[in-house]
Each structure stands twice: as C-alpha cells, then as structure tokens.
C-alpha cells in the first residue's frame, strides 16, 4: 500500500484515534534522561529512599516461595488481601467504614492511569464534557481525548478550584446545551499546580456538584505526601454517593509495579470490573502480592515519613533557588505537599518555544501547554523537585534562569518574534489570574 503520509494506515484508523497526540511529558523523557541534563520535568518518585535490599529480598521470595500463586492468573477485581490493605491505607486519610469504604467496593487497577480510563469508558460518550481544573494532569487529558470528550477548564487560585467559577461553568454549558458528565479534580497537592483545595471550598464544591447532578472523580496520588501538617480530608471522606476515589501506590511505594485502585459507589463496582476484565483480564497477581506483602511486613508508615522529609528538603531547595536566581517578574506556587511547583514566566516569554534552548543548556522542564486541553499555558512551566538532589535542583534552576535571562535580553533587542501565545496563570481564562508567588 502506498500513500502520501508517513503513516500508510491513516485511512484505516477508527475515528477516536484521529485526535490522539503524544504527551509533551513523554516526548521529553528521552532528552531528560541523559545524565548531563538536570531534569525538573518528570514526576518520578525518589525510589532510592526505599530500603531496596529488603524490598529486593521480598520480591525474590514472592517468586521462589510463592510463585505458584503470584505468577498465576488472578481475579478481575483484585485480590481480597490487597483490597483490605487498600482500605487500611485509605483510613489514614479518613476514608473508612464510617463513610462506606469497604474492600467489596475497591477495584484494583494497573496504576492510576487505568483507573481514569475505566471511569471514562463507563461514563463518557463522544461529545460529552468533563470539567477539570485549569491546569490539570496531562494523563487525564489524554484519557478524555481518547474517549472523544471535551474538557472545560475551571480556574484555580492559591486555595484551589474556585467554587463560583465552577457554578458559572456549569451554567454556561447548560445554556449551550452541552452535556457535562463529571468534575475531574486533584484537590490535594494538585498536579501540576501544587495547590490544595481549602477545607471550606471542599464542601462548597461537593454541594455544587450535587445540585447539578454531576459525578465527582477525585484523583488523589499525593495526599499522603504532605510537608506541613495534615492534608484536608478527601472529598470521598465527606460524601459517599457520586464520588469516585482514585489513587495509586506509584508515588508512595513503587511506580514500576503499576498498582492503583478505584473506590466506587457500590452500584458501579461490577461494571468497573467487567470493563477492566475486557481490557486486561486481571491485574498482575505478582504486583498485587508485592504491594500486599510490603504493606503487611514492612514499616510503610515510617517510609511515608521518610518520603515527606526527602521531598520537603527538595521543595525548599527549589523554592530557595527560584527566589535567589529567577528573573524579575517570575512567580510560582508554594506547595504544601506533592511533587510539583507551577511557575508563571515574565511577560512575553513562551515556555514551549524556549524549551529547545533550555535543553541545549542541559536543563528540562514541562511547558504549561501540556496541561490545558486547548493548548494555552505558554506562559507557564511545571517544575518537579522529587527526583534530583538539592544540589542538582539548584544547578538546574541556575541553568534555567540563565536561559530565561537570555530570552528577556533578546526580546529587548529584537522585540517579540511571533509573540507568545495565550498565557494562563492559575485560572482557566486568558485574563491574568491571581499572583501566587
């Protein structure tokens, strides 16, 4: 077969494939993984903080002593032992039997990403609308795009999603005859912004969604990685009906095992299991056993404290370096947990256009455009602090600040070349949002 494009199969793809695009983060991995590059781009946890010798011995025993079980097929919902352990983990955040949390309503998934995909498969038809914070997790945008849904962003400020903006978005979409299915939110230590939805706003957001008949999909990968006191209780700890709680062990144990979960309303559980079985038949019995054994035999609560201390030190290193080195006009969020800082560049700088020059200077970040469905956010960047050492973080900021200073100097001499695209701060509109430095 011959054709005029590089892909001879273009005319044979299903309609839902036509809009698929590569993640900007994934496209950076090949460059950012080079040892000479200081990567502030990815979201990898610092696995070296684990007791790797003990974990390695545990994994070896799972194969040598229990291989007849751990290397066999499993059940679609996930093992009862792991689902019980998951309920133990959730209880630390206040999601327990008092609010209807039960191992029977937990569905084990292949990481948090499959959990998102299952919810999309169950509830999204082509043309449906998903409300999401602006900016939001790039992996969620990919899932919603694959489901042929549209994303409408809701602005945030330093207290998280703005309830009044959520009400306005719901009303505007209703007047336009658009069908909104659910609110997707990362209320605690949000990715990419690093902000946390305030206690008072959590109740208001839930009330708004309940009145509008909207489901709430709460994504909570980072809730146990707080640096400054306790995080607010999750939305699911406040309401059991209409709230789907998604989480993962990728940030608190090991992303390579790819184990996550959904706590779903009881009526939906069976459909989630059926959809999961159609995708993967069953989650890995070995990976599930690894997580169950880790939670049952190792001091995982103490390990959470280790991660918190490591990430607090690295967050402080990033914030201190930015305060010392970033050009005037740069602002950024101050996360109380999680893995990310969201920066707003001085007027006129374009994070996407600047990226090749940053890579040439041996530093990587993620342009803000990857976190908006409409491709705006050129005036922003996401910076990760979980993986590099404090010394490497400061060196990365030094390199990045140098690139930004050169961009500013070039603009003063030559003016805007093509001009930066629409800029977004924390909010979901093109108007400047609140300054969150």
| Measured distance CA(67)–CA(227) in Å, rounded | 39
Q: Which CATH number fits domain 16-48+300-412: 3.30.830.10, 3.90.1150.10, 3.20.20.110, 3.30.70.3340?
A: 3.90.1150.10
Q: What angle do CA 213, 216, 218 make, to 5 degrees?
A: 175
Residue of 115, 146, 113 whose CA lies nearest to 128: 146
Report mean pLDDT in 10-residue bins for the chain, 437 residues: 64 73 63 83 93 96 94 96 98 95 97 98 97 97 96 97 98 96 98 97 98 97 94 96 97 97 94 97 97 97 97 98 98 98 96 94 95 95 97 98 96 65 47 31
Phi, psi for residue 394 in degrees, rounded to 5: -65, -40
pLDDT for position 431? 34
β-pairing verdict for 331-332 and 260-263? unpaired
Q: Are 385 and 311 in contact (CB under 8 A)?
A: yes
351 is written with which tokens?
């994070």
The residues with which 340 forms a beta bridge, in sequence order, are 384
Query: Phi/psi class of residue 195: alpha, beta or left (left: φ > 0; alpha: ψ in -120 to 50)?
Result: beta
**C-alpha–C-alpha distance, residues 61 and 173, integer Å:** 55
In the chain, residues under CATH classification 3.40.640.10 are 71-296
At residue 229, the pLDDT reads 86
Residue in 25, 44, 249 with CA at minimum distance from that of residue 137: 25
Cβ(362)–Cβ(399) under 8 Å? yes
DSSP secondary structure letter of residue 70: H
For residue 356, give Cα distances in angstroms to 23, 83, 362, 366, 404.
Answer: 17, 45, 10, 12, 12
Question: For residue 42, what pLDDT is reported?
Answer: 86
Strand-pair partners of 182: 130, 215
Fold of the domain built from segment(s) 71-296: 3.40.640
Strands, sheet with 331-332, edge to edge from the N-terminal-most edge strand: 331-332, 340-344, 380-384, 366-367
67's tokens: 């291989």
Structure token digits, residue 168: 């306005």
Strands 260-263 and 243-248: antiparallel
Nearest-5° angle of CA 191, CA 197, CA 198? 155
- Cα separation, 207 vs 167, in Å, equals 10
pTM of the model: 0.91
DSSP codes joined into one string, 233-252? PPGGGT--TTEEEEEESTTT
Q: How many residues are listed for the chain in this entry?
A: 437
Contact between 332 and 192 under an 8 Å Cβ cutoff? The reply is no
Distance CA 258, CA 112 (A): 8
Residues of the chain with CATH 3.90.1150.10: 16-48+300-412
pLDDT at 377: 96
Q: What is the C-alpha to C-alpha distance for residues 80 and 95, in angstroms, rounded to an integer? A: 18
């Amino acid at each position: 077969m011959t054709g005029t494009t590089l892909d001879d199969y273009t005319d044979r793809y299903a309609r839902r494939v036509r809009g698929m695009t590569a993640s900007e983060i994934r496209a950076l991995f090949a460059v950012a993984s080079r040892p000479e590059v200081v990567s502030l781009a990815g979201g990898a946890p610092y696995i070296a903080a684990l007791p790797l010798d003990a974990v390695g011995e545990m994994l070896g025993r799972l194969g040598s002593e229990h291989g007849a079980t751990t290397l066999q097929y499993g059940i679609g919902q996930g093992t009862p032992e792991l689902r019980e352990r998951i309920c133990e983990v959730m209880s630390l955040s206040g999601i327990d039997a008092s609010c209807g949390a039960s191992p029977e309503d937990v569905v084990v998934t292949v990481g948090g990403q499959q959990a998102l995909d299952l919810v999309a498969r169950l509830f999204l038809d082509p043309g449906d609308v998903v409300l999401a914070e602006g900016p939001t997790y790039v992996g969620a945008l990919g899932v919603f795009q694959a489901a042929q849904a549209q994303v409408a962003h809701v602005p945030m400020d330093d207290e998280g999603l703005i309830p009044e903006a959520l009400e306005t978005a719901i009303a505007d979409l209703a007047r336009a005859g658009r069908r909104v299915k659910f609110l997707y939110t990362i209320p605690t230590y949000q990715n990419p912004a690093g902000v946390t939805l305030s206690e008072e706003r959590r109740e208001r957001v839930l009330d708004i969604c309940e009145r509008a008949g909207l489901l709430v999909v709460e994504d909570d990968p980072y809730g146990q990685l707080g640096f400054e006191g306790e995080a607010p209780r999750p939305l699911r700890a406040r309401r059991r009906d209409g709230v789907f709680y998604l989480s993962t062990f990728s940030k608190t144990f090991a992303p390579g095992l790819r184990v996550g979960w959904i706590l779903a309303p009881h009526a939906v559980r069976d459909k989630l299991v059926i959809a999961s079985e159609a995708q993967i038949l069953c989650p890995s019995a070995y990976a599930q056993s690894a997580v169950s054994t880790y939670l049952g035999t190792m001091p995982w609560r103490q390990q959470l404290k280790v991660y918190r201390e490591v990430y607090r030190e690295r967050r402080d290193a990033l914030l201190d370096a930015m305060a010392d080195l970033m050009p005037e006009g740069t602002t950024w969020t101050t996360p109380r947990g999680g893995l990310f800082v969201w920066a707003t560049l001085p007027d006129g700088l374009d994070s996407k256009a600047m990226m090749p020059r940053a890579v040439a200077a041996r530093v990587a970040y993620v342009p803000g455009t990857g976190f908006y469905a409409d491709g705006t956010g050129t005036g922003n960047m996401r910076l990760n602090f979980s993986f590099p050492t404090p010394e490497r973080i400061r060196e990365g900021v030094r390199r990045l600040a140098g690139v930004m200073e050169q961009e500013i100097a070039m603009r003063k001499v030559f003016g805007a070349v093509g001009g930066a695209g629409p800029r977004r701060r924390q909010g979901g509109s093109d108007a400047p949002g609140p300054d969150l430095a």
